[in-house]
């Protein structure tokens, strides 16, 4: 595997379910990100992890819970979601350095909450 | 805080015509600028980036962008559109350890 992978690619869940999204990067990067992409809305940064520590949480509801056990893996645990949480969830990674840090994205998980 | 404005949520060109996607940024420090492309049901793919040095940046798939500090712009161009260029394009500016994205421009290519 190369680049950034995400599983599952598609997920349908009820509002009372608990599920997790998984992201793995094979690039040796030290920072990872979760984004939410909804139709007709700009890309929303949800969480940033740098060196496995959460450095940013952009006022995301507590029904989304991230976990970064090591620099290669990132999870997003989901529970009691709402229909408006249906979206494409994108994971990205980068190598932090002075100045611009280009991010490499996974293919995303298309989440539908019923 | 840094911000990005992409002019035109939809752009339509004929196959073989010039592609021009506009991006203006606001940054309090020398910016690092990026263009990404997203095909349906896929993640974002880096097209090109500007960090320092030459202001005309060449990317993949024949795209290029020019950093113009006086105009705070970083427009994306391609001399001749191909059907496979139909996608959504995002401009982004670096803000510390984050990227701030524009709202995106959907490019349609007509045969």
Which residue has tokens 């404005």? B5
Instruction: List, for residues A20-32, the tens digit of each pLDDT value.
Output: 999 999 999 999 9
- Provide the pLDDT confidence category of residue A7 given band limits of 50, 70 and 90: very high
Cβ contact, residue pair B43, A90, below 8 Å: yes
Of B49, B98, B102, the CB nearest to A48: B98
Contacts of A44 (CB under 8 A, 6+ apart): A35, A36, A37, A38, A58
Tens of pLDDT, residue by residue over A57-110, are 778 999 999 999 999 999 999 999 999 999 999 999 999 875 567 899 999 999
Cβ <8 Å between A31 and B94? no
User: Which B residues 63-92 touch A at CB under 8 Å?
Assistant: 90
Among A88, A70, A64, smallest CA distance to A11 is for: A88
pLDDT at residue A51 is higher than 60: yes
Residues of B in contact with A109 (CB under 8 A): none
């Amino acid at each position: 595997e190369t680049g950034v992978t995400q599983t599952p690619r598609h997920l349908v869940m009820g509002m009372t379910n608990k599920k997790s999204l998984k992201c793995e990067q094979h690039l040796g990067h030290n920072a990872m990100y979760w984004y939410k992409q909804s139709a007709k809305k700009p890309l929303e940064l949800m969480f940033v992890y740098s060196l496995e520590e959460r450095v940013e949480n952009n006022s995301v509801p507590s029904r989304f819970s991230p976990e970064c056990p090591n620099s290669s893996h990132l999870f997003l645990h989901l529970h009691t979601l709402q229909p408006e949480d249906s979206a494409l969830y994108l994971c990205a990674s980068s190598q932090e350095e002075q100045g611009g840090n280009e991010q490499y994205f996974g293919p995303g998980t298309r989440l539908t909450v019923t | 805080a840094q911000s990005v404005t992409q002019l035109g949520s939809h752009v339509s060109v004929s196959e073989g015509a010039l592609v021009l996607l506009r991006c203006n940024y606001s940054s309090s420090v020398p910016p690092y600028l990026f263009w990404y492309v997203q095909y349906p049901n896929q993640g974002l793919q880096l097209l090109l980036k500007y960090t320092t040095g030459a202001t005309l940046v060449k990317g993949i798939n024949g795209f290029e962008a020019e950093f113009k500090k006086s105009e705070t712009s970083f427009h994306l161009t391609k001399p001749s559109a191909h059907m496979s260029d139909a996608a959504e394009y995002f401009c982004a500016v670096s803000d510390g350890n984050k990227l701030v994205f524009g709202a995106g421009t959907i490019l349609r290519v007509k045969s």
